[in-house]
Structures are given as structure tokens and as C-alpha cells.
Structure 1
Amino acid sequence: AMSTYLLGDQPPQPQPVKPASADAAQFKPGRQQYLAVCAGCHGREGEGKPHVAVAMLGNSTVRNADPHNLIVSMLDGIEAQKFPGLESLQDMPGFASRLSDAELADLANYLRASYGGQPGDVSADKVKALRVEAGKGH
């Protein structure tokens, strides 16, 4: 159920990721948010950490043309995951109460452009609409 939620009914086909420059001025606020709240678990360059957090580089959620699942994941967080064998992932906290709509949009745009090869076109209004829909308004 979790993978369907994160990937949708039809996960995107693997494609080469053509990241935007993480140094681009338009992504600087998102990069700062990433380093402040995400890099501790997902790695400074999006490489992830075994048994802690998935990589952002090439992650299907950031590669998806529709940013809905990415935004909802950032708002609500993701519960810890236990997999067969010894593999597990820690829970990811939600940031609905810690980051503004604009900050979450900046972060989503940085993730999508830098690690997913998608355009950085998420607006604060899109985040706000999903926040309200999820009942996490502020």
C-alpha cells in the first residue's frame, strides 16, 4: 500500500535523470532547506543512507511528473518501514508544522530539478491546496 501511495498505480518508467544545476540561483532557497532538514538522513548530495533513508537521486517520487506524492510526503511524513531480512528505514517526520508553503515549494522544486530531472514548477499555492486538503492548514 505504501509503495502504491508513493508511486501511484502506474510507477514512472526508469529514465536517465538530467538534473538541473544545484547551484542555480532559483534553487538556492530549496537547497538551503534540504541541507537544513533533509540532508542529515537523505545525504548531503541525495545519496541516501542504508537502513535510514532512501536516496533522493533518481527517486521515483521526485521523478514523477505530478508532484502530489512528494508534497504530501513532505507535509505528512512517512512511517518507519520494515522489509524482509535486515532492511528497514527510519520514519520521516512531516514538515507541515515546521515549513511554510513557500519553503515546501522551494524544497520540492529543488528536489525535483536536482534529483528527479523534473521542472521546478511547484507553487506555494499548490502546497497550500494539498495542506488544506489534508487538514494540515495553519
Structure 2
Amino acid sequence: MAPSPDSLIVIAAIILVFVPLAVIARAIGQRRRWRDPHRLFTWEQKKILLTRARWRCEHKHPLWLRCRATTGLQADHIVPWSRGGATAIANGAALCQRHNARKSNRMPSPLYRWRLRQRRRKYS
């Protein structure tokens, strides 16, 4: 017995709707950003970052002076690793625990990055 024309239309409609949705869902699931395989800075990289910062936190509030913390310094990714930032000296900054936790995985503004480059020229 041959299928009725109505059932063929229903089957065709299901295929036309669900196949593209399945393809889109698979593409979204496979899309991943590139990440540096090295999540943490090595001790050698940390020493370079800390020496460049003169062993002091590099954070500076827009209206105040640079942070005075010299203990508990951490190597931080300027562009967060979770957002594709490389674990490299060029993407590193020395921050105290407080400012590193406050920054978290947020992207710094272009103004913040420009100000950081300007400050580094003064103390490097």
C-alpha cells in the first residue's frame, strides 16, 4: 500500500524544518574560540612581569595614583585567557590579589590598556 499524499507532505515538512535546525545546532555546539594551551604563567614569565612592574601592582584608578601593594602580587592576563587571551608577556600584568579578583575575566577598555602602556613607559 502506497503512502497517501497528505502523509508525504507531513514527512517533507518535518524534514524541511528539523534537518536545518539539527545542522545549526551542531554548528553552534562545535564553535569554540582558540585558547592558549598554557593557562598559567610560568615562574619565569611572572618574574619578568613583576620586574617590569617594579614589584608593585600595576592597577591605577582613573582618578587616583597607582596601587601601592607590593605583596601578594599575581600575574594576570590583560585580555582574559577565557576570552582567547594568550599566556604571554605581552598580555600580562602584575596585579595585587584584590585588583586581580576585582578585574576577574572582564575585558579592559581600550582606554585602560592605553593608560597601562603609558604608565609602563614611565617606570620601565
TM-score by length of 1: 0.25
Looking at secondary structure, tell me which structure has more helix per residue.
2
TM-score by length of 2: 0.27
Q: Max radius of gyration: which structure?
A: 2
Looking at secondary structure, tell me which structure has more strand per residue.
2
